[in-house]
Amino acid sequence: MLSWIDKDTEIYCSFAEKAGNTGCQMMNTAFFYYGLNKIYKSFSVNNIEEAVSAVRTLNIKGFAITMPYKVDVLEYVDDMEDSVKEIGASNTVLNKGGKLSAYNTDSYAAMIYLELFDNKKPLYIIGNGGYAKAVKWGAKQNNFNVENITRDNWDELFDIKNSVVYNCTPMDITDWIDESNDFINCLVNTQTGFDLASLQASKQFELYTGLEFPL
């Protein structure tokens, strides 16, 4: 029970085309663990410009961005990390006294997670949206040879073998992946997806609070 909510409670949130519960559960549990006067709420939005304007108006302290706004949000922030400039997408924004600064914790999660895999194998990134851009950056830090599967060359997916395959789309493509491959699925209802969500949330929580993620 969030019994401490009052006029001084700091609000954090996420913006997506379709809101989910994973971020709310993780962040509110972590806030509760430390006894912080903060809450986290997910919002479904259809206009990211208006959503960011609301952040400024309501003094929301930080927000996450999910599909399909990770690229478009950069038009409405005041500055960004160098890595965000390289990636071309953001999933985390902090409100620092009215100045909105963009970060990318998806790239951090991908970088850490890909350390578990053999970078001598080809890495096939499935998708080309904001999340895929962050994964490409993480793969670059781990010296992977990256290939990209998009709508333009989708048929090549079925020929991939003895590689690392990283699904960055909202589709579950598990049944299409050859058993010889190491498969990373970003969907949060899978083990790899949940692990990745936890990694990025840990970095996000650190940005929000300066504290270590307790989960």
Domain range list for the chain: 10-104+202-209, 108-194
On whether the 10-104+202-209 domain is CATH 3.40.50.10860, my answer is: yes
Q: How far apart are CA 192 and CA 128, in angstroms?
A: 19
pLDDT tens digits, 73-101 = 999 999 999 999 999 999 999 999 999 99
Catalytic residue among 7, 38, 41, 70: 70
Token digits of residue 2: 């969030």
CB 133 within 8 A of CB 88: yes
pLDDT tens digits, 33-52 = 999 999 999 999 999 999 99
On whether the 108-194 domain is CATH 2.102.10.10, my answer is: no
Query: What's the confidence (pLDDT) of residue 3?
Result: 56
Same fold, 10-104+202-209 and 108-194: yes
Question: Is 203 one of the annotated active-site residues of the chain?
Answer: no
Query: What's the confidence (pLDDT) of residue 151?
Result: 92
* Whether the model pTM is above 0.85: yes
Positions in the chain short of pLDDT 50: 1
